[in-house]
Amino acid sequence: MFWWITTVIRGASGSCRVVLLVISGDFERAKELIPKLERRKLLRWIRFHMLGSYLFDKFPEILELELDRAQTLLFHKILDEMLNILVDSPVEVVAFKGGHIRELYPNRYWRMVSDLDVYVRSRDIKELDRFLASRGFKGRGEVNFQYRYEYKGVPLEVHTRFARKLFPNLISENVVFENSVRFRGAVLFPSPDLEITIFYFHAYKSAYTSGFRAIWWLDERFLNLNGAKPLNLSKINRCVEWFKSYKFSQINDREGNEFYWSIVGILHALRLWL
């Protein structure tokens, strides 16, 4: 797996190279590099790519990663609380992305999470809104078909579609609920095939806005180990092909120029309409 890494590793910078080696599973070579690197820059790379909690067990000499693991434990605890509340929701909700993918990792705490994403039928959003308000969730408005809430400082994003305004909606409501299984009560989890389909579409949409994250390669690995195969939906194959051809040399440790990436993101969206 990740055979292409050997072709780019020599040209990668120090901190970037550590991330590259970690993704490939070569922790020993990564560990040899760490003492030679500027710690602040290394941490910036690790944290931008959401690898802090994953590496906490691997590199105990990086003491700062204890904070990453502690934060991850707290966020997981609050996500569990949110899911326990949503079990009693009057409408069905599908928990996806990190809130579900973490369960596919050998250790759920390897997967950093920063929010909980759920999908609901568009007709159910008002009823869910009333339920969330009654359970202490604070509304934070709606942006790009995402209804935002907060619970104990952790965001909840409620989706009625997976596409932002410029992107075609490749995954329909019927497909979502036909390919989800009940977790508990009103909470459903996507099948592995639906989760990896959402995953490729999300990566395609987000790479040129919030930045490509190396942890996505780990997500893909653990989804594949669970037998996940993308659903046969129109144009999803373009997202899959794009992801598998993404070059590590394109990765950075920050989001970069907002205007430039906005233009690239628009062009990226238009490709799915053609």
Mind giving me the DSSP string for 63-128?
A: TTHHHHHHHHHHHHHHHHHHHHHHTT-SS-EEEETHHHHGGGSSSGGGS----EEEE--GGGHHHH
Q: Quick one: which of 105, 197, 205, 120 has its CA closest to 159?
A: 120
Q: Give the model confidence (pLDDT) of 11-70 as tens digits.
A: 467 899 999 999 999 999 999 999 999 999 999 999 999 999 999 999 999 999 999 999
Asked whether residue 4 carries a pLDDT value surpassing 50, the answer given is no
Cα separation of 265 and 144, whole Å?
15
Q: What fold, for 3-271?
A: Beta Polymerase; domain 2 (3.30.460)
Q: Give the model confidence (pLDDT) of 128-167 as tens digits.
A: 999 999 999 999 999 878 999 999 999 999 999 998 778 9
Q: What angle do helix axes 192-206 and 236-245 make, rounded to 10 degrees?
A: 70
Q: Give the model confidence (pLDDT) of 81-113 as tens digits.
A: 999 999 999 999 999 999 999 999 999 999 999
Q: Quick one: which of 49, 98, 55, 56 has its CA closest to 214?
A: 49
Asked whether residue 78 carries a pLDDT value surpassing 90, the answer given is yes
Indicate the average pLDDT of the chain.
92
Contact between 122 and 93 (Cβ < 8 Å): no
Rounded to a whole number of angstroms, the CA Rg of the chain reads: 19
Catalogue the E-assigned strands of the chain.
Answer: 93-96, 116-119, 138-143, 146-151, 154-159, 180-184, 187-190
Q: Quick one: which of 206, 253, 239 has its CA closest to 20?
A: 253
Phi, psi dihedrals of residue 148, rounded to the nearest 5°: -105, 135
* 264 contacts: CB under 8 Å, gap ≥ 6: 208
Q: Quick one: which of 154, 145, 99 has its CA closest to 120?
A: 145
Please tell me the predicted confidence (pLDDT) of residue 253. 84
Burial of 176 (0-12, 13-18, 19+ CB in 10 A): buried
Cα separation of 94 and 17, whole Å?
37
Asked whether residue 2 carries a pLDDT value surpassing 60, the answer given is no
Cα separation of 231 and 171, whole Å?
10
Asked whether residue 230 carries a pLDDT value surpassing 50, the answer given is yes
Asked whether residue 8 carries a pLDDT value surpassing 90, the answer given is no
Please tell me the predicted confidence (pLDDT) of residue 1. 45
Is 257 or 98 the better-scoring residue by pLDDT?
Answer: 98
Q: Please name every residue paired with 146 in a beta bridge, in sequence order, or none if there are none.
A: 143, 159
